[in-house]
Every structure is written in C-alpha cells, then in structure tokens.
Amino acid sequence: MKIEYYHASEYGNGAKVAEEFKRIMATKGIVVNVHHVREVKPREIPAADLYLFSSPGRMGKPIGGMRRFLKKINLPSESRYAILVTEMNPQPDKKTGRMPTEEELGRCQLVIPKMNEILQAKGFKKVADGKIYVTGIKGPLEEGWQGKVEEFVSVILSSS
C-alpha cells in the first residue's frame, strides 16, 4: 500500500501528527510520503492507494491553503482518501463553565465536513476521518495524541 499524506500545518502540530503516522505505518511495512501543501502542485499529485489530508482549523473551517489545494487536485474519481485534522480542544463557557455539547460543536467545528464536501464532490471515496486536539492556538498537542494516531492507523488498515 502506498499513501500520500498532505498537510497544511501552521505551527508544526500537523507535521508532528504526519510524522507519527508515517512512523507507525513504516513499522507495518507501508510507505507514506509526507508533503506540506505549499511544497506540492495540486495537479501533480502522484498515484497512490490512499490520499490522506490534514488541516488545522481556523474559525471552524480548514485553513484557506488546504481548501484551495483540495479544490485544485486532479485525481481519478473513486480515489480513496482519509482526513486527520488538528482542532482546538473544546473549552468550557467562560461565564457558566459548561462544556459545549456535541451538537454545539458540530455547528462550529466544520473542518472535517468542509473537507469531505470538497473531496466527495470530486467523486472520491472516504475511508476514515479523525481529529487530534491542540490545547492552545499554537499547541501543544493533547496528551495521548500518539494513541489517537495509532487508532487512526488501525482504522485505515482495517479498511484496505
């Protein structure tokens, strides 16, 4: 299996996640090529068995560079993809101390849905999606993030 991994890491958190994913897959004999979207022309993506896209959230959506990249990619219909994003860890309301519900989070954390919308409009087939939280705007990643990457790897491997 060959995986091409494209991330749009701004502060290095997404790059850490990508390298951990690559490291775990290497232990299973799977080649993962990691690229920052700024380093690649979206119309020149090499053939792969799976494309993995990762973006941090900004104002509840994938950052602009990733949205533009996804809109410009030219892959065969039915290409398989997965999404692994980094998002701010949900915080309690400053006045009430109440944590937002899943429904409330779903209205403001739209990174995965927006990326899926772009990719599925091109006829691509989703294999998995997941998120790793960051504890502040610039990080660090949440405690135990490596375990979440391992779980994501398991989902990817079980889908192939």
Read off the CATH number of the domain in which 75 is found.
3.40.50.360
Under 8 Å between Cβ of 13 and 7: no
In the chain, DSSP finds a helix count (H) and a strand count (E) of 5, 7
Domain that holds residue 134: 2-159
For the ranges 18-22, 28-32, 101-105, 135-139, the lowest mean pLDDT is seen at: 101-105
The Cα–Cα gap between 38 and 33 comes to 15
- Render pLDDT for 95-132 as a digit per residue (tens, 0 to 9): 887 776 666 555 557 889 999 999 999 999 999 999 99
User: What pLDDT score does 60 carry?
Assistant: 76
User: What pLDDT score does 139 carry?
Assistant: 87
Q: How confident is the model at residue 27 (pLDDT cuts 50, 70, 90)?
A: very high
Under 8 Å between Cβ of 105 and 90: yes
**Cis status, amide bond into 90, omega within 30 of 0:** no
The Cα–Cα gap between 21 and 152 comes to 9
- Render pLDDT for 46-101 as a digit per residue (tens, 0 to 9): 999 999 999 998 777 899 999 999 999 999 999 999 999 998 776 657 788 777 66
Number of domains in the chain: 1
pTM passes above 0.85: yes
Under 8 Å between Cβ of 83 and 129: yes
Whether the pLDDT of residue 153 is over 60: the answer is yes
